[in-house]
Chains A and B, each alone.
Chain A
Amino acid sequence: MPKKLRFLILALGTLAAASVSAEAGGSLLIKNGTLLTVTRGVLVKADILVVDGLIRKIGPSLDAPPGLPVVDVSGKYVIPGIIDSHTHIALDGTNEGSEAITPEADVGRVVNADDVSILTALSGGVTMVHTMHGSANPIGGPNVVLKMKWGRPSEELVVPQAWKTLKFALGENVKQSNRTIQIGGPPPRYPQTRMGTNAVIRREFLRAKDYLAEWERYEKLRTSNNPPPTLVPPRKDLRLEVLADVLRGRMVARCHAYVAPETLEFLLLSKELGFKVACFEHAWEAYKIVDALAEANIGISVFADSWAYKMEAAEGIAYNAGYCAKNGVLVSINSDSGERIRRLFNEAAKTMKYGGLGEDEALALITINPAIQLGVDKIVGSLEIGKQADIAVFTGHPMSAYARCDMTIIEGDVYFDRDRLVREREEAVQISPAGKRGGLR
């Protein structure tokens, strides 16, 4: 458990990072809140006892063991930490766009724990993100699930229990249809069409199958009674290793797909080749193929609105998320951005107006649903005894446009405390030279 910040920058002023606090040491009592548990209904004036990072007790009038920090949240709403199923923050790279097929380009190896977007995310109650390779090529790279432990070293952010996921992408980004062609600029990259995209993905998986077979042959000979003296191992190919892991079921696909036909084609491809698709990204036309998605048990991770920003989003509708959720598809609302991430609760609330979801259903789109999509619903996504204490405290119901996140807790440690942050920032301004000149106000 983190006991103190290794990297405190209060003395420098302006930076909000100074407000990071992990002094609770993973144990605290949250008192008198309205608990939106997501999976166990609403508890009014209830407490949560957190010990060593886990939720140990939920109920009215819990006693704190002596010395345990108590946070009184009277009049406030307490929800499980918000989970963003699709974003690109906290990375030192987004796209390996130089080639069409780059599954070796693992963004989990370029986590940047200094990205201020982590603090931005915390300020909106976000405790976990699925931060992804971009959509520049048909097969991008592996993604990574992180907790927003601002101030902690990068390796402590990674969530080892989450599924291993690989980014795929279809449509306009992949076929580079929105690229301005420059005279003498880089030559167009294959594929330039949707059918080409499907074909190149299929081709690579067939190569991966050959690769697996080659290694199997080698292992069989190596472990035989009389291995030939000239036996040598096949070349280890990091690109094909990752695809082989997808075929072995050790990784699941997350596929950026806008229009209905390409989405269905990818679904067919996954059945033919035998790999699992966890979720379609953006999926603006999911409402057209809702039965197929529900039957295949594949979720979608989408924006609430803001469609028609490019041709393939032209038939997007604000009812997409709500309609799909009501028809058996596991829906999450994502940010895809280091800014929208601080108001995912506002985004989720839009599905109440468009789609008619209830408060709990809308809240599920940013808590338990993304947790299921990432394979972490056993440990986070709701307020339940035994789960990790990833918790956000709001001034009002988070589906209200007037609500604001006041405190964000991860595994029992307070990583964002709005009052303290504002106070420290004001103090820092007082002592900084720019503040004295009035430059930072």
Chain B
Amino acid sequence: MRRFRPHLVLALAGIVIASAAAEGADVGPTYALINLKVVPVSGPILEKGTIIVRDGLVEAVGPAGKITIPEDAEIVDGEGLTAYPGLISAHTNLFLEEAASPARPQSPAEFAAAVAPPSPPDQPGHEVFDQLKPKKASIDGFLKAGITTVLVAPGRGIFQGQSVLLNLNGEEAGPMVVRNPVALHLNFTTARGSYPSSLMGTIAYIRQKFYDAVHGATVRAVYAKNLKGMKRPAYDPFAMALVPFVRDKRPVVFQCNNREEIKRALTIIEEFKLNGWLSHANEAWREADLLKKTKLPLLVTLDARPPRSSLYVNQGEELRKKAEAEIYPANAANLAKSGVPFALTSLGLADGPAFLKAVQAAIKAGLSREDALRALTIRPAEYLGVAAELGTLEAGKIANIVLAKGDLFDEKTEIVQVFVDGVPAKF
């Protein structure tokens, strides 16, 4: 039996009125983007196409005339514009507040803290989502560069914690989440003032922690079968946090800051049969043959600054600059030439404009525009396991759409409008 509830109807009507008034609420209205050139990535380019956006998703996309425009749709005339799927940067350190630099030490205790700043202990179970502080300025910078989706990873320590995948649809962290947690992130760095203080110590430390996880999982499995008659195993939170990665093969991202670190990561991935991904990797072209064989997800940064270990860094500023301008931007082009698949990321780049400049530099160094676009859309979507939702302009997918005046990666191109989760972003 149903009862008529007028107060409920009134309340609902109020919501509808409110959402129609406030742009950018989480459920968007319906849009018909017409007269556009459409680059769906998943198929051939439509010289004159139509995209229907409804309730955050792409409802339909196709050549003009073949798509019926819904009556309730707000029409966006895209004459002279090109639509692309929103770009994905599959590794960033966005929205993380770095510890403020301490004031000049006064007391001996402060001096002590300044001499040996305590590194925060590694916490592989830590989810970066808990520390996100989204900032409008950095969101706008990325949207202006066409990036609508970012993987945010923690940036400190060796076992840095677990990343989250976000759609840049506002300023609140919760509604942005596409996937959480995504992967465990490792970096070949050292702990200042305590163990491990050297790179070989770090490698031993990483291996020991994974061995402890394997051991912990083994012991617990035996214990589960012998609850009666077996002493309960000691609880090691670090090892337990790593169990899903050694046992269930959840992804582990290794930040490889130079050529040798690619090989060091591969050795550890092989040793523990991890679901390993390689990130940073701006010297990846030097190990192209190896990477072609291993076929691991490769998240290549567009940051062309040579690593500290580089020959070019130790031979004077002139050579370093030349390497940054001429050698490292060709990383992606060289990988493509060698047939190594990869995604491109903005890791290490300050902001959206720096990202766009870096893409242009990679294209100038020989990367095709098609390869660049795939490496920023469908390829990262596949790596991240979200290809059903993101990465191309197809019916049913999330409506992350970039409207550009000109080719997306041209220097003079202006990005005029960006839809995130089907809502036009304001920037």
Q: How far is the CA of A155 from the CA of B267 in the complex (A)?
A: 12
Among the stretches B21-29, B32-40, B107-115, the one at the interface with A is B107-115
> With an 8 A cutoff between CB atoms, is B230 at the interface?
yes
Tell whether, in the assembled complex, residue B260 and residue A104 are in contact, meaning their CB atoms are under 8 Å apart.
no
Q: How far is the CA of A230 from the CA of B219 in the complex (A)?
A: 9
Tell whether, in the assembled complex, residue B201 and residue A184 are in contact, meaning their CB atoms are under 8 Å apart.
no
Main secondary structure of the interface of B (DSSP, over half): helix
Tell whether, in the assembled complex, residue B211 and residue A236 are in contact, meaning their CB atoms are under 8 Å apart.
yes
Contact flag A113-B260 (CB < 8 Å), given A184-B112, A186-B193: yes
Tell whether, in the assembled complex, residue A232 and residue B200 are in contact, meaning their CB atoms are under 8 Å apart.
no
Q: How far is the CA of A10 from the CA of B311 in the complex (A)?
A: 13
Q: How far is the CA of A106 from the CA of B195 in the complex (A)?
A: 14
Tell whether, in the assembled complex, residue A238 and residue B208 are in contact, meaning their CB atoms are under 8 Å apart.
yes
| Nearest-CB residue, chain A, relative to B112 | A184
Tell whether, in the assembled complex, residue A98 and residue B195 are in contact, meaning their CB atoms are under 8 Å apart.
yes
Residues of chain B within 8 A of A109, CB atoms compared: 200, 203-204, 264, 267
| Residues 262-308 of B at the A interface (beta carbon under 8 Å) | 263-264, 267, 286-287
Q: How many residues on chain A are close to B (CB under 8 Å)?
A: 50
| Nearest-CB residue, chain B, relative to A229 | B226
Tell whether, in the assembled complex, residue A94 and residue B204 are in contact, meaning their CB atoms are under 8 Å apart.
no
> With an 8 A cutoff between CB atoms, is A47 at the interface?
no
Residues of chain A within 8 A of B267, CB atoms compared: 109
Partner of A230, one of B218, B230, B312: B230
Contact flag A112-B200 (CB < 8 Å), given A98-B195, A185-B112: no
Q: How far is the CA of A145 from the CA of B264 in the complex (A)?
A: 18
Partner of B226, one of A17, A104, A230: A230
Q: Interface code A91-117, partner B: CB below 8 Å = 1, 0 otherwise?
A: 011111111001011110111111010
Residues of chain B within 8 A of A433, CB atoms compared: 318
Tell whether, in the assembled complex, residue A230 and residue B260 are in contact, meaning their CB atoms are under 8 Å apart.
no
Tell whether, in the assembled complex, residue B286 and residue A6 are in contact, meaning their CB atoms are under 8 Å apart.
yes
Tell whether, in the assembled complex, residue B109 and residue A112 are in contact, meaning their CB atoms are under 8 Å apart.
no
Residues of chain B within 8 A of A310, CB atoms compared: none
Partner of B111, one of A104, A184, A230: A184
Residues of chain A within 8 A of B312, CB atoms compared: 12
Residues of chain B within 8 A of A236, CB atoms compared: 211, 215
Tell whether, in the assembled complex, residue B319 and residue A15 are in contact, meaning their CB atoms are under 8 Å apart.
yes
Q: How far is the CA of A133 from the CA of B198 in the complex (A)?
A: 11
Tell whether, in the assembled complex, residue A154 and residue B260 are in contact, meaning their CB atoms are under 8 Å apart.
yes
Residues of chain B within 8 A of A376, CB atoms compared: none
Tell whether, in the assembled complex, residue A112 and residue B230 are in contact, meaning their CB atoms are under 8 Å apart.
no
> With an 8 A cutoff between CB atoms, is B316 at the interface?
yes
Partner of B316, one of A14, A99, A185: A14
Residues of chain A within 8 A of B218, CB atoms compared: 232-233
| Residues 381-401 of B at the A interface (beta carbon under 8 Å) | none
Residues of chain B within 8 A of A17, CB atoms compared: 311
Tell whether, in the assembled complex, residue B215 and residue A235 are in contact, meaning their CB atoms are under 8 Å apart.
yes
Q: Interface code B167-211, partner A: CB below 8 Å = 1, 0 otherwise?
A: 000000000000000000000000101111111110110011001
Tell whether, in the assembled complex, residue B260 and residue A133 are in contact, meaning their CB atoms are under 8 Å apart.
no
Residues of chain B within 8 A of A7, CB atoms compared: 286
Contact flag A92-B199 (CB < 8 Å), given A238-B207, A434-B318: yes
Q: Which of A110, A183, A238 has the most CB of B within 10 A?
A: A110
Tell whether, in the assembled complex, residue B108 and residue A184 are in contact, meaning their CB atoms are under 8 Å apart.
yes
Tell whether, in the assembled complex, residue B286 and residue A13 are in contact, meaning their CB atoms are under 8 Å apart.
no
Residues of chain B having any CB pair with chain A under 8 Å? 108-109, 111-113, 115-116, 191, 193-201, 203-204, 207-208, 211-212, 215, 218-219, 222, 225-226, 229-230, 259-260, 263-264, 267, 286-287, 309-312, 314-316, 318-319, 322-323, 327
Top 6 nearest A-B pairs (CB, nearest first) are: A184-B112, A104-B204, A96-B201, A93-B198, A98-B197, A93-B199
